Chains A and B, each alone.
Chain A
Amino acid sequence: MSDLITVSRLCRSFGSFQAVKDVSFKVGRGEIFGYLGANGAGKSTTIRMLCGLLQPTSGSAVVAGADVARDPEGVKRRIGYMSQKFSLYPDLTVFENLDFFGGAYGLSGRALRSRIDEVLDELGLRDRSRSLTSSLPGGARQRVALANALLHNPDVLFLDEPTAGVDPASRRDFIALVRRRVAQGTTAFLTTHYMDEAEYCDRVGLMVAGCLKVLDTPSALKANHVPGALFEVRTARRGDVTAALNAIQGLATIQRIGAGLRVRYDPSPGRDRVAESALAADPDAVVEAAEASLDDVFRAVVDQEAQ
């Protein structure tokens, strides 16, 4: 069996609110699957159903061979889960946290000790094992949470916004650790709203208002879901240039970025036409064609949804 997660027509409602609507997808062994979406789009609800924490309203999901509705405990034995709030005991040390959760997974005695040593080494936490988790910096605390989720060698790792509120360097380190794990055969399912994090995923699904809108590899998404052409305009006079660019037919999105503006036209008026207008508003403006990013995919899909 190569699909470790099989989701078909999964729905979940809270009262009259439909948090997840008719979602279907499959995740293969050794894949990093990214689940992208704004807050409240249904990412956490989906992941909680897949972990056996929430009963689906309808539809089915099979994770590592166990049905989440009928055998949630079977699912729990085979998965590791790390949520956005690092759910560790702040008043226990790193070792004590791992000791407890390892025990909860049925590990004990020497087997538990050696597994704790292994994950501490794997995640570079050996010298932290006696520190209270409340005293650790965010990045280290997050590695402890990951260590926790890996103790029982799960087949699937569920990471619910694992890097929320962590600095970019720690975020990169964290993703590298996850990738190393995945290279050893673990499957990872991760939700995020950081686009740079999504870039590291083998495939990315995009949630908008409870629906899975698009699902593909990051490069295919960028190639197929950003219609028209993208330009970046470097300018100090954003206001004037914005007005000028607005006048060109086909403007789809315009956003402020560090050094100026990023615009998408659909259909494209051509770089020369954009440059002409921009220069008319600001003689120092520089216009360049831009590559599509996952952020653009996200905007395009959300825009399409809004129309």
Chain B
Amino acid sequence: MSSALYAVMRKEFRQMTRDKRMMALLILAPTLQLFVLGFAANYDVDRIETATCDSDRTAASRALRQGLLADGTFIDVGPARDCRRPGDDIRDGRAKVVLVIPDGYARDLASGRTADVQVLVDGTNPVIGRYASSAASTYLNLVSARRQLPSLAAMSAAAGAEIRVPTISVAPRVLYNPAMRSAIFMVPGVSAMVLLIVTTIATAMGLAREREMGTLEQVMVTPISRSELLLGKVMPFVIVGLFDVLLALVVGTWVFHVPVRGSLAVLGLGTCLYLLSTVGVGLLISTVSRTQQQAIMGGFFVMMPAILLSGVMTPIENMPGWLQPVTWLNPVRFFVEILRGVLLKGAGVVDLWIPFVALAAFGPAVVALAVGRFRKRLA
């Protein structure tokens, strides 16, 4: 290692460790964020407030309502306030679902007619809406099918022969995340996001800070090479980033029970390549910013789309066709693929060759671009 590169790293580490607040931001903040966001970024629907409008008031209608509330996902908030306008309870947020059982429900069932039941669902949040309507339909279809069984039995008895009804038995086996807990899926994504924010902003501000303080001029008058200076400035943040990933793994496995099925070495390699990309982006922002404010603004300008187009929050497959190719320029996307692949599926470098190659190309390219842009001259 060249003595100048080593000197820059030494200096950056000294400044970093001396600044207690900076250390807190670099180490404590990401871990804390992962802890909180891991709980927050949760698509598991487990509480659907449900109001009932039972105009039938029979044993059958009460049984129907009890059955819907039985598994604990639909939470009873009591009867709807006004059965003439059952939607009111959804509009003011008291309920996400209103079960409307009209007068005559039990009578229709007893006489073998089709009984009408209405389920109103709040669709403002499509995730909750879709889950609620599908869960309610599944339950009501089941009740309906059970109702048909005695009739079938009676029909067989009358016909004097057994009537066979063909059915399909489905046993879906869910791999990698059998309980389908969203935390297991989200925590790796959130780690990638938190790491991006910390390393990009910290490096983006680095050069801008020295430019503002006037120390950059003093550095530029030394014969240090551009790559020694810039690599020396970002290497410490790569090391801090690796440490952050380690902490994220600890929090992920202990708090959120994220499995570690693949090799940590593969994960380490992927993390190094990813960090080179994020600090490279920070560095590039730093070379075009005159002040720290510009660097921060530039950082957010880049990070927002990088997070939203990464597949952390929403699947890339759901994005329109013209937008999907844009994600190929996004290192976050590839790191999330590596994290989820290694942690959840136990995938290796060969399985994940595409994201590995992409990161291995992106990181050095963006660092080279930053070095190329940086001038050891004023004005």
Number of interface residues of B (CB under 8 A): 27
A52-79 to B contact mask, C-beta < 8 Å, 1/0: 1111000000000000000011001101
Within B231-245, which residues are at the interface with A (CB < 8 Å)? none
Q: How far is the CB of A18 from chain B (nearest CB, A)?
A: 14
Query: When chains A and B are docked, how far (Å) is the Cα of A148 from the Cα of B19?
Result: 23
A51 CB–B CB distance under 8 Å: yes
A88 on the B face (CB < 8 A): yes
B209-221 toward A: CB 8 Å interface, digit per residue (1/0)?
A: 0000111011111
Report the Cα distance A14→B214, complex, angstroms: 20
A148 to chain B, nearest CB (A): 8
A47 to chain B, nearest CB (A): 10
Q: Nearest CB to that of A14 among chain B residues?
A: B379
Give Cα A92–Cα B213 distance, bound, in whole angstroms: 14
Cβ 8 A contact of A106, one of B4, B18, B377: B4
A89: chain B residues at CB < 8 Å are 11, 15, 213, 215
Task: Say yes or no: A104 contacts B219, CB within 8 Å.
Answer: yes
Q: Is B65 an interface residue (CB 8 A)?
A: no
In the assembled complex, the Cα of A102 lies from the Cα of B229 at a distance in Å of: 14
CA distance A109 to B4 in the complex (A): 11
Within 8 A of B (CB), among A73-111: 73, 76-77, 79, 81, 83, 85, 87-92, 96, 99-109
Q: In whole Å, how far is B231's beta carbon from the nearest beta carbon of chain A?
A: 13
A100-B221 contact in complex given A53-B378, A83-B214, A92-B15, C-beta closer than 8 Å = no
Docked Cα-Cα span, A112 to B10, in Å, equals: 14
Q: Which of A8-58 contact B (CB under 8 A)?
A: 14, 48, 51-55
In the complex, which of the residues B6, B7, B229 has the most CB atoms of chain A within 10 Å of its own CB atom?
B7
Q: Which size bracket describes the interface of A in this complex?
A: 35 or more
List B residues 151-192 near A (Cβ within 8 Å). none
Q: In the bound complex, how far is the Cα of B15 from the Cα of A100, in angstroms?
A: 11
Contact with A along B12-34 (1 / 0, CB 8 A): 00110011000000000000000
B376 at the interface (CB under 8 A from A): yes
Q: Across the interface, name the chain A residue whose C-beta is closest to B6.
A: A103
Task: Add 13 more A-B contacts to A55-B377, A100-B8, A103-B8 (CB < 8 A).
Answer: A54-B377, A73-B223, A73-B376, A76-B223, A81-B221, A88-B215, A88-B218, A92-B11, A92-B14, A104-B219, A104-B229, A105-B222, A106-B223
Residues of A at the B interface (CB closer than 8 Å) are: 14, 48, 51-55, 72-73, 76-77, 79, 81, 83, 85, 87-92, 96, 99-109, 112, 148
Listed from nearest, the 10 A-B pairs whose CB atoms lie closest are: A103-B7, A108-B3, A87-B218, A104-B222, A100-B11, A81-B221, A104-B224, A76-B223, A85-B214, A77-B223
Residues of B within 8 A of A (CB): 3-4, 6-8, 10-11, 14-15, 18-19, 213-215, 217-224, 229, 376-379
17 A-B pairs (CB sep. < 8 Å):
A48-B378, A54-B379, A76-B222, A79-B221, A83-B214, A88-B215, A89-B215, A92-B15, A99-B7, A99-B10, A100-B11, A103-B8, A103-B11, A104-B229, A105-B4, A105-B224, A148-B218
